[in-house]
């Protein structure tokens, strides 16, 4: 069967090269009995390809079952897949056949395989290698003849490196890798899919046909579609049901697209990192470290003037030392170098043109966080003439927190 016949049979829309390659791989591997690992983002159509492989294989007259490994609790997944004996665990009032027993002679599609617990992975590996399994609570070895097709929307090899997926099972499943391209990599197919979906839904709900103007087509094509075909289909159904004006403009289309991504042609944003929880102590540390760094820079500048009789190129962006001094606020109690600048810096003058005094005596710096905190609060209150709301804003904390700090530190 050629690619076009497969598309017609399974309702696949699109002509992109990546899609055609995926269909061709599925067509070639279907007559064999080897395992297939289908990878692709959520909503890209992985289950459709598992149906292609099954329906075009010698097992097409046998049973087919799709199992979402991520939806089954860890404590019951072994029982679901391999069955259990009566009394195997609390609540097991009778024996139960597992999927590998009921689908004997057919195909089992294990979706979200990366979510499978490690113990279940070891049992699955044994089934793949020898066709043998043991029911939960039994010691009798059972036999099954099932073809396994697995799918995942994550990088399984990364899970292997993280110790969350067995490496031997990965290579056993990945005999033939099949990658389903995301919709953003099939831009030429997006409008074809949208037109097919809107046509189906307007027929279903008996509403007038939907049309897109030129700007709306550009928005449709340039959007990244993080939900892939599933998201596009859902949006087409909403438009078919809700819109009174059947000519859809770009402005109308954008109301159905998530705001943060609707006006962007960038890939989908993946942000799995937790938001940083910044405490008051973190803010104070940051302020202190910034002040320390500025003080060190100022010391280097003064030493450079004393040694070379002028400002080095690294500091020539500052027109005068007085301007640099005004830019940096140093705490009175933390100065390690005391200096007086009475004239603007001019690179053509020698160091004798300035009245610079340097105290080489090192002053031991207090590292007490309480002292630093008290000092900062006092300075903020003094700067804003006792107005606590303005002082709290200056410190980057709430007014209520400032009240509490004043009471705790007995200011």
Sign of the alpha-carbon torsion through 147, 64, 88, 94? negative
Residue 273 lies in a domain: no
Q: Where are the alpha helices (DSSP H) in 77-146?
A: 77-82, 99-102, 118-130
Residue 175 lies in a domain: yes
32 & 148 share domain: yes
Of 163, 172, 72, nearest to 127 by C-alpha is: 172
176 & 58 share domain: yes
Domain boundary among 181, 210, 240: 181
Task: Take residue 346 and report the two structure tokens written for it.
Answer: 């001019």
Question: Which uninterrupted H or E stretch holds 250?
Answer: helix 250-254
Rounded Cα–Cα distance for residues 245 and 238 (Å)? 13
Reported as a pLDDT band with limits 50, 70 and 90, residue 254 is very high
Residue 38 lies in a domain: yes
217 & 320 share domain: no
Q: How does DSSP classify residue 87?
A: T
The confidence score (pLDDT) of residue 366 equals: 55
Residue 272 lies in a domain: no
pLDDT in tens, 366-376: 556 667 778 88
pLDDT in tens, 59-107: 999 999 999 999 999 889 999 999 999 888 777 778 889 999 999 999 9
The confidence score (pLDDT) of residue 360 equals: 43
Question: Which uninterrupted H or E stretch holds 147?
Answer: strand 147-152
353 & 405 share domain: no
Residue 108 main-chain phi, psi, to 5 deg = -115, 130
* Alpha-carbon Rg for the chain in angstroms: 34
Reported as a pLDDT band with limits 50, 70 and 90, residue 309 is low
Residue 385 lies in a domain: yes
**CB environment 39-59: b (16+ within 10 A), e (fewer):** bbbebbbbebbbbbbbbbbeb
- CATH no. for residue 211? 1.10.8.60
E strands, 35-146, are 36-39, 64-68, 107-111, 132-134, 141-143
The confidence score (pLDDT) of residue 258 equals: 81
Reported as a pLDDT band with limits 50, 70 and 90, residue 310 is low
Domain that holds residue 84: 3-181
Pairing of strands 36-39, 64-68: unpaired
199 & 177 share domain: no
Residue 313 lies in a domain: yes
- Residue whose token pair is 């944003």: 269
10 & 137 share domain: yes
Rounded Cα–Cα distance for residues 213 and 199 (Å)? 16
241 & 124 share domain: no
Q: pLDDT at residue 298 above 90?
A: no
The rounded percent of the chain whose pLDDT value lies above 90 is: 56
Question: Are 380 and 395 a contacting pair, CB within 8 Å?
Answer: yes
Q: Where are the alpha helices (DSSP H) in 345-398?
A: 369-383, 388-395
Of 256, 259, 272, 268, nearest to 225 by C-alpha is: 268
Q: Using CB atoms within 10 A of its CB, is residue 229 exposed (0-12), middle (13-18) or buried (19+)?
A: buried
175 & 105 share domain: yes
Rounded Cα–Cα distance for residues 401 and 283 (Å)? 13
- CATH no. for residue 45? 3.40.50.300
The confidence score (pLDDT) of residue 312 equals: 57
Question: Are 98 and 83 a contacting pair, CB within 8 Å?
Answer: yes
Which has more confidence, 332 or 288? 288
Domain boundary among 132, 148, 181: 181
24 & 160 share domain: yes
pLDDT in tens, 159-210: 999 999 999 999 999 888 999 999 999 999 999 999 999 999 999 999 999 9
Question: Are 38 and 151 a contacting pair, CB within 8 Å?
Answer: yes
**Mean pLDDT on 323-350:** 46
Residue 300 lies in a domain: yes
167 & 304 share domain: no
- CATH no. for residue 390? 1.10.10.60
Looking at the 3D structure of the chain, how many domains does it have? 4
SS3 246: coil
Of 354, 318, 361, nearest to 336 by C-alpha is: 361
Q: Would you say how long the chain is, in residues?
A: 411
Question: Are 114 and 154 a contacting pair, CB within 8 Å?
Answer: yes
49 & 29 share domain: yes
Residue 274 lies in a domain: no
* Helix 369-383 and helix 280-308, axial crossing angle in degrees, nearest 10: 80
Residue 268 main-chain phi, psi, to 5 deg = -60, 135
314 & 404 share domain: no
- Kindly report the pTM of this predicted structure: 0.61
């Amino acid at each position: 069967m050629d690619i076009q016949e497969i598309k017609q049979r399974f309702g696949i829309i699109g002509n992109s090269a990546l899609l055609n390659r995926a269909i061709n791989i599925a067509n070639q591997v279907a007559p064999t009995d080897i395992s297939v690992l289908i990878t692709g983002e959520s909503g890209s159509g992985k289950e459709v390809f598992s149906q292609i492989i099954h329906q075009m294989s010698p097992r097409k007259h046998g049973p087919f079952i799709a199992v979402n490994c991520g939806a089954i609790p860890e404590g019951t997944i072994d029982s679901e897949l391999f069955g259990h004996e009566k009394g195997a665990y609390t609540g097991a009032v009778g024996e139960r056949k597992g999927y590998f027993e009921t689908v004997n002679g057919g195909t089992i599609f294990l979706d979200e395989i990366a979510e499978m617990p490690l113990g279940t992975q070891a049992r699955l590996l044994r089934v793949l290698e020898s066709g043998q399994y043991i029911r939960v609570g039994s010691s009798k070895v059972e036999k099954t003849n099932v073809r396994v097709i697995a799918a995942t929307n994550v990088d399984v090899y990364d899970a292997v490196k993280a110790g969350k997926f067995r490496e031997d099972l990965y290579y056993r499943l990945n005999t033939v890798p099949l990658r389903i391209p995301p919709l953003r990599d099939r831009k030429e197919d997006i409008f074809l899919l949208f037109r097919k979906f809107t046509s189906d839904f307007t027929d279903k709900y008996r509403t007038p046909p939907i049309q897109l103007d030129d700007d709306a087509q550009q928005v449709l094509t340039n959007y990244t579609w993080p939900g892939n075909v599933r998201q596009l289909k859902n949006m087409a159904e909403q438009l078919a049901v809700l819109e009174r004006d059947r000519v859809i403009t770009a402005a109308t289309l954008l109301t159905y697209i998530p705001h943060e991504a609707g006006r962007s042609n960038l890939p989908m944003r993946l942000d799995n990192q937790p938001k940083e929880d910044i405490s008051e102590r973190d803010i104070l540390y940051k302020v202190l470290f910034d002040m320390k760094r500025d003080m060190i820079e100022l010391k280097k500048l003064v030493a450079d003037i004393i040694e070379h009789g002028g400002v080095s190129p690294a500091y020539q962006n500052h027109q005068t030392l007085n301007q640099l001094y005004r830019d940096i606020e140093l705490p009175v109690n933390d100065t390690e170098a005391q200096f007086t600048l009475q004239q603007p810096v001019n690179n053509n003058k020698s160091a004798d043109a300035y009245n610079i005094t340097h105290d080489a005596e090192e002053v031991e710096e207090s590292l007490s966080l309480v002292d630093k905190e008290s000092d900062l609060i006092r300075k903020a209150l003094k700067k804003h003439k006792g107005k606590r709301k303005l002082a709290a804003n200056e410190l980057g904390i709430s007014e209520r927190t400032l009240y509490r700090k004043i009471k705790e530190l007995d200011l």
